[in-house]
Structures are given as structure tokens and as C-alpha cells.
Amino acid sequence: MRRDIFQAISDPTRRAIIVLIALQAMTPNAIAEHFDTTRQAVSKHLRILTECELVKQEQQGREIYYSLEINKMKEIDKWLEQFRKIWETRFNQLDQVLSTIKKQKK
């Protein structure tokens, strides 16, 4: 089953994994140490993140390291950009209204 990146980030554990590996690649065991869950559960989350191409695997000797796939994160940011523009416009409008009210009170 092909998963959607938004389905992947909808889970709080997967979002926490993304935060963990954003700065440095980590092994599944190192990731699992940060959660009160089984190693198998963490592996399932990593598999989903890998299927969505949000994380990538790199074999180093006998260990597999997971790291963040920045280009996929940009896809999320691009989608959010449309809402960011709406929010900024509304905040600017609110600033103008507040400024007008402040001037009227003087």
C-alpha cells in the first residue's frame, strides 16, 4: 500500500522520530531508547516513514542508520505555504484594525 506523507506525520510517535533524526542519523535501537514502546513498534513507524520517503536508510557496517529526507520535508512545507500566506494576511489585517482602534482612542 502506498502511503501518503501526511498520513505518516499524523502520528505523534512518527513526528517525534522525525524530530530525533533531524539533526543526526540514528539506529533503530537508539531511536527506540527515546520511547516507552517496543523496538518492533518503532520499526513499524520507521517502515512507514521509509515508505513515504520521509526518512532514508543507510547501511554502515552491520548497522542501519535512519536520517531525515529533507526534500520530502520541503513537500510538506510547500503545502503549508498556502496556509501561511492566509495567516499572514489575516494577522496584517488584525494589526491594521488594532492600529486604527488605538488611534481612535487617542
Q: What are the structural domain ranges in the chain?
A: 1-68, 70-106
Closest alpha carbon to 31 in 7, 75, 65, 71:
65
Residues 11-41: tens digit of each pLDDT: 999 999 999 999 999 999 999 999 999 999 9
Distance CA 53, CA 16 (A): 16
Q: Please, what is the angle between helix 39-51 and helix 12-21, to 10°?
A: 80
* Whether the model pTM is above 0.85: no
Distance CA 37, CA 22 (A): 21
Q: Which residues of the chain have pLDDT under 70?
A: 1-2
Distance CA 94, CA 100 (A): 10
CB 34 within 8 A of CB 66: no
Classify domain 1-68 by CATH architecture: Orthogonal Bundle (1.10)
